[in-house]
Amino acid sequence: MKTGYLCVMDTVIQTVDLHKNFGRVKALDGLDLEVHKGEIHGFLGPNGAGKTTTLRILLGLARPSSGSASVLGMHPWADAVELHRRVASIPGDVSLWPNLSGGEAIDLLSRLRGGGVDHAAFKERKHHLCELFDFDPGKKGRAYSKGNRQKVALISALVMDAELYLLDEPTSGLDPLMEQSSRARSGGSCTRTAPQSCSQATSSPKSSSSPTA
């Protein structure tokens, strides 16, 4: 556990008075958030409330203007490489390599996160998830609809044995049956964003709202 951060042993995410400004625009205005090991935590708010900005800070992709953030006891910006080996994430807007198949994209994303793709356990999980989501991994990325691009992102995250899953509106573009399937694999802790008052929030035992100005 790193000195100077307030995380206790079962706390996987903690932010204290977190602010993020883009020029004169306040994207975050004093966010205090705590997520514990084993929790599924819904992070709610309307568009523009700072949900994606928060996840980018937690993933070390953006720096806060002030305040502090800790993920798995690490500093997201300073320890980003190690953090990405232990965290699986889904971005809010999924783009794929047009000439790679869906299966190749899943393998590549796993390699980028430090995972192996040649062992039997990975192949079995990948096959199971493709069946669960009714996904054809043989098509090229350019041929996929928004929903199928989202399935690539979901499968590439859920195939990992991660300690923490950070999911930005993970079921966007999926039909209700696929949304239910996305909840079928569990493991680690999970923080997921959703629009304010969205029905997805009912799947999250704990929830919080993004504070904006």
Q: Any idea what the Cα angle at residue 77 is, between residues 192 and 212, rounded to 5°?
A: 50
Q: How far apart are CA 68 and CA 7, in angstroms?
A: 11
**Interacting residues of 4 by C-beta distance below 8 A, sequence separation 6+:** none
Of the CA atoms within 13 Å of residue 155, those in its CB half-sphere come to 30
- Please give the pLDDT value at position 69: 97
Mapping DSSP to helix (H, G, I), strand (E, B) and coil, where does residue 105 land? helix
Of the CA atoms within 13 Å of residue 113, those in its CB half-sphere come to 28
* Token pair in block for residue 34: 């705590």
Q: What is the dihedral of CA 60, 64, 68, 73, to 10 degrees?
A: 0
Which neighbouring-strand residues pair with 74? Answer: 71
DSSP state, 8?
-
Domains of the chain, each with CATH number or no CATH: 11-209 (3.40.50.300)
- Please give the pLDDT value at position 179: 55
* Token pair in block for residue 26: 């306040």
Q: Is 21 exposed, middle or buried (0-12, 13-18, 19+ CB in 10 A)?
A: middle
* Token pair in block for residue 160: 């990992």
Place of tokens 């990405």: 84
- Please give the pLDDT value at position 187: 55
**Interacting residues of 181 by C-beta distance below 8 A, sequence separation 6+:** 132, 133
- Please give the pLDDT value at position 199: 42
Low-confidence ranges of the chain (pLDDT < 70): 1-9, 175-189, 191-213
